[in-house]
A and B are shown apart, each in its own frame.
Chain A
Amino acid sequence: MTENRTRALLHWVLGGWVLLVIAAAFFYAPSAAGFKGESARIVFFHVPQAWVAVLAFCVNLVASIRYMRKRNPLDDARAAAAARLGLVFSVLATVTGSIFANVMWNSFWNWDPREVSIVILLLIYAAYFALREAIPDEERRASLSAAYAVLAFVTMPFLVFVVPRIYWSLHPDTIIGAKGNLKLQMDSRMLQTLLGSLVGFTGLFVWLYTLDVRLARVLLARRGREEE
């Protein structure tokens, strides 16, 4: 009972926080110089969406490794839940990035290395689900998709860190420079809003992920009872 109350309270806090972030993105943060109109405000949503897509990829990796070590079906459900959310957030990051690109550079797609990297992340998630769909046996599906998830994770550092350094990018450089110096230069109110949004989107991911895993746990328990 107490757990349910805490959970309900956390939902209200998360809802309030997200509403606050939306309000701050439009009314608290000032307009950014050097951008067309109010287009820069999309950063408060685009960056956290891309962050959650990558976070989901990491959660998927951890759950996949755990499955390969312990063969617990719940870990497979965790990996699949993270991948599902990762797919949704990478689509959102791609769409918001394209809208911003069209406003700024009159083109929805510019083949920027970071644009390409989020699309490849999206393709990896899609391939992960294509693999899962193609294997009817549950245990085999879990172990082979876990292996693919681990393998896919190996290519990500090359996409995120190596390829953007070979090709010129429209995106700003990473927050931490090559010499370890902090390169983020942003108005403090914009920074507060961006950090708040990162926290809000991370909370949203945790909530949706927990919901999906709880559902999987119930389904697994029901199937266990049916098999008995």
Chain B
Amino acid sequence: MRTSNLLSEIAAVLAKEFTSELRSRVALNAIGLFGLTTLIAVAYQIGPYQIQEADRPHLLSALLWIILFFAATSGLSRVFVKEEDAHTAKTLRLAARPLAVLGGKYLFNLVLLVALFALIVPLYCALMGYGVRGVAGLLLVLLSGALALSATATIVAAIIARASGSTTLFAILSVPLVLPLLVMLIQGTRAAAASSELAAVLPALQGIVSLGGAVIVVSVYLFPAVWHD
């Protein structure tokens, strides 16, 4: 009974997020346009022929994640910042328990990230001539990356929402936390591009999933203190 209540509260928070986002489309526009602009700038200046063949596996996977990460940082903090800006945080505190708020906002950020990946990754592969041998491996890396990145982004967004200059702080606080994750994501993407075997991406996947899992568990414990502070 309690679990079903929690799940329905999470679903309600998620539905609220979608309704308010579809009304303004601020996060969607910020993430999508930032990603597209960066991709066009990179593809225009570097393109498929400017990088030496030997450097392609390293550079193309790193460039992909730089585009994805910085596009994501432009919009993921909004889930909590907008509640403070619109003075709706107090109402939300009364309406839903902390775990439901965290769950709903985490899932919303996850959907945003998956949408960003679905838009940018195929375009990037086409514009940069990035041939991926292990498509299944790449999809697994992207999915696990989205799970882990949205976990870190959601809890950092909750922390910075009540500080002054919160948008700038989001990048400052999240970059050191996300760097080990980015290193493993770049390594996993490179392995997926080079081999069709799923085993090639396993070492990176293990690291990504365990880091993402650890952040989710810690977030569940930290969030009530951050939210009710």
Which A residues contact B (CB, under 8 angstroms)?
68, 116, 120, 123-124, 126-127, 130-131, 134-136, 139-140, 143-144, 146-148, 150-152, 154-155, 158-159, 162-163, 166-167
Contacts and interface: CB of A to CB of B under 8 A. Distances in A.
7 contacts: A127-B176, A131-B173, A134-B164, A148-B173, A155-B181, A155-B211, A166-B187
B175 A163 contact: no
B76 interface: no
Contact of A134 (B155, B165, B203, B207): B165
B169 A131 contact: yes
Contacts of B176: 120, 123-124, 127, 152, 155
B180 A140 contact: no
B55 to A, nearest CB: 15
Interface of B: 155-156, 159-160, 162-166, 169, 172-173, 175-177, 179-181, 183-184, 187, 203-204, 207, 210-211, 214-215, 218-219, 222, 225-226, 229
Main secondary structure of the interface of A (DSSP, over half): helix
B172 A135 contact: no
Contacts of B159: 131, 144, 147-148, 151
Contacts of A150: 218, 222
Contacts of A130: 169, 172-173
Contacts of B155: 147, 151
Given A143-B225, A148-B159, A166 B177 contact: no
Given A127-B172, A147-B225, A163 B177 contact: no
Contacts of A140: 162, 229
B180 A158 contact: yes
A195 to B, nearest CB: 30
A158 B163 CA distance: 28
Nearest to B218: A154
A106 to B, nearest CB: 23
A158 B181 CA distance: 9
